[in-house]
Structure 1
Amino acid sequence: MPDDTELTVGATAAVLGLTVRTLHHWDEIGIARPTSRSAAGYRLYTEADLERLRRIVVYRELGLGLDEVRAVLDDPATDVVSALRAQRAQLAERVERLTALGGELDTMITAHERGIVLSDEEQTAAFGPGWNPSWPAEARERWGDSAEWQQYAERSAGRAPGDWKAVADASAAAERALAEAMAAGVEPGSPEADELVERHRAAFSAYFPISRSKHVVLGRLYEGDPAFAAHYDGLRPGLAAWLRRSIDASARSHGIDPETAEWE
Structure 2
Amino acid sequence: MDDGYTVGDLAGLSGVSVRTLHHYDAIGLLTPHGRSAANHRRYTDVDVARLRQILFYRELEFGLDEIAEILADPAVPPDAHLRRQHRLLRERRARIDGLLDAVEHELRVRGSGIALTAAEQLEIFDTDRFGAALAEVEDQWGVDAHTAAYTREDWVAIKAEADADIAAFAAALAAGEPADGEAAMRAAEDHRAHLARWFFPCSHRKHRKVAAHYVSDPATVAQWDEIAPGFAWYVHDAIVANADRARS
TM-score (norm 2): 0.47
TM-score (norm 1): 0.44
Bigger CA radius of gyration: 1
